[in-house]
Amino acid sequence: MLVRLSPAQRDLLLDHLHFGSRPVRGSHTLRTALDTATLADQRYGVDMSAEMVEAASFLLRFASAGDGPRREDSRSFDAAYILGPRQQTHRERLMSALAAGAEIREVRSFHDAAHRPRHGNDPEPWVITDTALNAEFRLPDDDVHPVWPLQPVLVISDSLSDDPVGLHPCRVPLRHLPSVLFTAKEYQLAPLVLLDDRSYATFKLRHMPRRPGLIVVCADLDDASTYPRGAVIAAEAVLRAGQDLSWLHLRMHDATECQYLPLDDLLTGDISDPPPPTGN
């Protein structure tokens, strides 16, 4: 979705991202989008995913938590309005995000906030624990924000091998689950999904919704049905196991905000071209 930012909002986000932001999902791709955005009619048009909108919303609030001129720039960026539904209150949005797997964090300290209301209409239902002070503090809805934590790359395979798609060595965290055991939430929250083509039929029976960042890894690209199968499930790419590893490692690190290896280390040596799309 195209989101229009004022120059002050863009500069505030870039300042915070360049000097080390909190590792929240969407922040790395947000920085790239902000760096390449163009100015038109005194606004920057930035192509953002929902994750990037949430990351921008949190980082704006975090960077301008105190009083001052930046606070207005923060509050004018309304993620709830951009993402909808428009009729949701901030509390309803917080509870929906919590149920969907988000963490709720205090804006200033980044402390985890637990939902522990004292009664149905508690104005301060969120509790943070300060271990240094050995004390708990209650917070209203306005002082907390949903944050989507970084997740491991999901590898869907029924193989008993510890490396069913030929990734080793790999410093990006992986979660290897059989095709019948991963949950819909794990599938949606994973930054990238690698599907072992040998488990394709069972995966197809799960009727998972389409999502970006689904890659099929197979043993034989010469099989004429490989690419059509990938297209049916809207796969981003189809790879042969153990090949295109330089591209795949770059793709994995990009999807996980480059938290596990400096990008410069990945760009040394030969980088393979991206694999052809599946045509979905």
Q: What is the C-alpha to C-alpha distance for residues 185 and 154, in angstroms, rounded to an integer?
A: 11
H or E stretch covering 135: strand 135-139
pLDDT tens, residue by residue, 154-194: 999 999 988 888 887 788 899 999 999 999 988 988 989 99
The CA R_g of the chain, rounded to the nearest whole Å, is 21
Give start and end residues of each alpha helix (H) in 89-179: 90-99
Look up residue 120 and give its DSSP letter. T
Helix (H, G, I), strand (E, B) or coil at 154: strand
Q: What is the mean pLDDT of the chain?
A: 82
Q: Is the dihedral of CA 209, 28, 21, 264 positive or negative?
A: positive
* pLDDT tens column, 9-64: 888 888 877 765 555 677 777 888 888 888 888 889 888 887 788 888 888 777 66
Supply the pTM of this predicted model. 0.66
Confidence of residue 76 (pLDDT cuts 50, 70, 90): low
Alpha helices in 64-206 (DSSP H): 69-75, 79-83, 90-99, 184-189, 200-205
